[in-house]
């Protein structure tokens, strides 16, 4: 028997699994992550808490899987949310909390860097649109506002890189996460001296040399083994972003199959046979699935976050009714959505609730909006509008990606959002394509991590075949013709209304930030 360990450090949870070589899950465990908001626009997590939770999870996994599984472990891969600033001193201790991707305190630094480098030049270097989510602006803010802590920093890690360090004692950075930082030339993954000069920092020294996702960067140390119960000497690979690990877990195995990891945010993956244009609002990644040489990925800022906001802000009575009936609130809302006609009575929801929007707008000034309400608008229409608005955002991304060369004929949905049958039907109707949900292995990000570890260790010699064998379709959702007609009529207004408000929203944010 050979076993593999996959860990995903998400925004809200850290989860780990151990699988055998046939894809059977031998053990799983998870712990919640705490997010801190110490000031306006600030969103942080504590790296030490990531490790503390990781230790607890690993000890639980070891206890559940048993000694034979631990002794048979061939490889470990860790993924994480992107992009974080985790500054570490010479002794390996974080000098401050990690600044995570949702943080938008450095919007002014984004504009300053783009002005220094030139926006078009910046896009040409990094292969994507500038955004407050990325790393150069975070580093500049850190250097400018906390100079004493910056002076103590010898390396800046990503979240999974910190956990890799705690396991191996090696500072590392995987090429997938590195490609998302906007510090490198996308063409050859070398540091951009122009961006480094704009930031005013030695990025060559601060950022570890990118390693391929399947490169073994070290092995489990004696100290880490004693803390976690793992076997000393188990190879640890560089790993990947949660986006890349999630893509493998969607079961995509050929061009035309697109994927969506629908969680707090939505991560959209579309295969292609050529790189996207540099100025396209998506990012091209290398892909190791046979016949799919390139992958376009595009993150949507607020998917499940919109539903969570809806439930917490407007659906207290629905939550109480669901609880009284012993039901899940999301199942309860499914029925309300299905009982409400498509189009939500003319109410459009724009789901830009978390630090503006990422793909395809890439700005920090977009704001969540309801447009079209009147005195006759009912709550059930507002509820359905939130489901439809997030699907309009998905259509915007998929349409943009297909326009730059991506191939999408069907969509595999994973993550928490995949559990909503109403949402899946809306997405199918919005996109004019079938939507598939997957079996228990499909979409589980740590399962994607296990696939990466399996390829690195030689347990899996054919990634594409392994994906086909281990991840299967559970349910198919087809478009509803009547809904398709409604969405085709409303979608142009969704685009046009935001486009006309874009400059106003930018100026509005500038004003609100001064209040």
The closest alpha carbon to 48, from 98, 8, 89, 99, belongs to: 98
The distance of Cα 471 from the centroid of its chain, to the nearest Å, equals: 20
- Would you list the domain boundaries of the chain? 3-243
pLDDT at position 297 over 90 = no
Please measure the distance between the N-terminal and C-terminal CA atoms of the chain and give it in whole angstroms: 62
CB 284 within 8 A of CB 255: no
What distance in Å separates the CA atoms of residue 74 and residue 76, rounded to the nearest whole number?
A: 7
pLDDT computed for residue 244 by the predictor = 87
User: What average pLDDT does range 251-274 have in this prediction?
Assistant: 91
Percent of the chain scored above 70 by pLDDT?
Answer: 100
* Local confidence band at 467 (pLDDT 50, 70, 90 cut-offs): confident
pLDDT computed for residue 354 by the predictor = 84
* Radius of gyration for the chain, computed over Cα atoms and rounded to the nearest angstrom: 22
Assigned token pair, 140: 């500049």
pLDDT computed for residue 253 by the predictor = 87
What distance in Å separates the CA atoms of residue 145 and residue 139, rounded to the nearest whole number?
A: 10
* Local confidence band at 280 (pLDDT 50, 70, 90 cut-offs): confident
* Local confidence band at 275 (pLDDT 50, 70, 90 cut-offs): confident
pLDDT computed for residue 497 by the predictor = 98
pLDDT computed for residue 329 by the predictor = 96
**CA-CA-CA-CA torsion sign (381, 384, 388, 389):** positive
What distance in Å separates the CA atoms of residue 282 and residue 291, rounded to the nearest whole number?
A: 20
pLDDT computed for residue 306 by the predictor = 97
pLDDT at position 462 over 90 = no
Which pLDDT tens digit goes with each residue over 2-45? 999 999 999 889 999 999 999 999 999 999 999 999 999 999 99
Which pLDDT tens digit goes with each residue over 102-116? 999 999 999 999 999
* Local confidence band at 461 (pLDDT 50, 70, 90 cut-offs): confident
pLDDT computed for residue 290 by the predictor = 81
pLDDT computed for residue 465 by the predictor = 83
Is the peptide bond between 165 and the residue preceding it cis, with omega within 30 degrees of 0? no
Neighbours of 377 (CB within 10 A): 16
User: What average pLDDT does range 407-436 have in this prediction?
Assistant: 96
Q: Please give the mean pLDDT across all residues of the chain.
A: 95
User: What average pLDDT does range 495-501 have in this prediction?
Assistant: 98
Which pLDDT tens digit goes with each residue over 304-316? 999 999 999 999 9
Percent of the chain scored above 90 by pLDDT?
Answer: 82
Which pLDDT tens digit goes with each residue over 131-158? 899 999 999 999 999 999 999 999 999 9
For 3-243, the fitting CATH number among 3.40.50.10470, 1.10.4160.10, 3.40.50.300, 3.30.420.40 is: 3.30.420.40
pLDDT at position 355 over 80 = no
DSSP per-residue letters across 439-464: -SSTT-HHHHHHHHHHHHHTS-S-HH
pLDDT computed for residue 511 by the predictor = 95
* Local confidence band at 463 (pLDDT 50, 70, 90 cut-offs): confident
pLDDT computed for residue 187 by the predictor = 80
Give the C-alpha distances (Å, rounded to integers) separating 391 from 4, 262, 328, 432, 487. 36, 11, 22, 12, 10
Which pLDDT tens digit goes with each residue over 196-206? 999 999 999 99
């Amino acid at each position: 028997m050979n076993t593999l360990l996959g860990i995903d450090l998400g925004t809200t949870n850290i989860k780990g699994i151990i699988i055998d070589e046939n894809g059977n899950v031998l053990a799983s465990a998870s712990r919640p992550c705490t997010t801190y908001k110490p000031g306006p626009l600030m969103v942080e997590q504590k790296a030490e808490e990531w490790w503390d939770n990781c230790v607890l999870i690993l000890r639980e996994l070891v206890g559940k899987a048993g000694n034979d599984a631990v002794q048979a472990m061939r490889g470990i891969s860790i993924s994480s949310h992107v992009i974080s600033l985790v500054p570490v001193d010479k002794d390996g201790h974080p000098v401050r909390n990690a600044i995570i991707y949702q943080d938008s305190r450095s919007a002014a630094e984004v504009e300053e860097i783009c002005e220094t480098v030139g926006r078009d030049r910046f896009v040409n270097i990094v292969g994507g649109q500038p955004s407050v989510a990325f790393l150069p602006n975070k580093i500049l803010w850190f250097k400018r506002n906390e100079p004493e802590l910056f002076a103590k920093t010898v390396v800046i890690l990503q979240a999974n890189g910190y956990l890799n360090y705690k396991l191996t004692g090696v500072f590392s950075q995987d090429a997938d996460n590195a490609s998302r930082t906007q510090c490198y030339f996308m063409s050859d993954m070398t540091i951009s001296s122009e961006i480094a000069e704009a930031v005013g920092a030695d990025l060559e020294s601060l950022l570890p040399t990118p390693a391929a996702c399947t490169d073994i960067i070290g092995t489990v140390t004696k100290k880490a083994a004693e803390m976690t119960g793992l076997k000393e000497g188990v190879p640890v690979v560089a790993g990947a972003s949660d986006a890349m690990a999630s893509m493998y877990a969607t079961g995509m195995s050929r061009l035309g199959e697109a994927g969506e990891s629908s969680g707090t945010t939505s991560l959209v993956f579309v295969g292609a046979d050529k790189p996207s244009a540099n100025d396209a609002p998506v990012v091209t990644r290398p892909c190791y699935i046979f016949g799919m040489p390139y992958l376009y990925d595009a993150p949507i800022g607020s998917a499940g976050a919109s539903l969570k906001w809806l439930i917490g802000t407007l659906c207290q009575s629905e939550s109480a009714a669901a609880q009284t009936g012993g039901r899940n609130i999301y199942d309860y809302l499914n029925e309300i959505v299905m009982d409400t006609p498509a189009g939500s009575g003319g109410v459009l929801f724009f789901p830009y609730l978390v630090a503006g929007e990422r793909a395809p707008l890439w700005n920090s000034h977009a704001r969540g909006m309801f447009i079209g309400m009147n005195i006759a608008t009912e709550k059930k229409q507002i509820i359905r509008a939130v489901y439809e608005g997030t699907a309009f955002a998905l259509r915007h991304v998929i349409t943009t990606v297909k326009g730059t060369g991506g191939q999408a004929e069907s969509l595999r949905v994973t993550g928490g959002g995949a559990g909503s049958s109403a949402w899946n039907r809306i997405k199918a109707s919005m996109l004019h394509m079938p939507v598939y949900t997957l079996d228990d292995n499909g979409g589980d990000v740590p399962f994607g991590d296990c696939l990466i570890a399996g390829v690195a260790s030689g347990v899996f010699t054919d990634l594409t075949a392994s994906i086909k064998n281990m991840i299967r379709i559970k349910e198919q959702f087809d478009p509803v013709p009547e809904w398709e007609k409604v969405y085709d009529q409303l979608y142009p207004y969704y685009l046009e209304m935001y486009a006309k408000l874009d400059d106003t929203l930018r100026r509005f944010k500038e004003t609100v930030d001064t209040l």
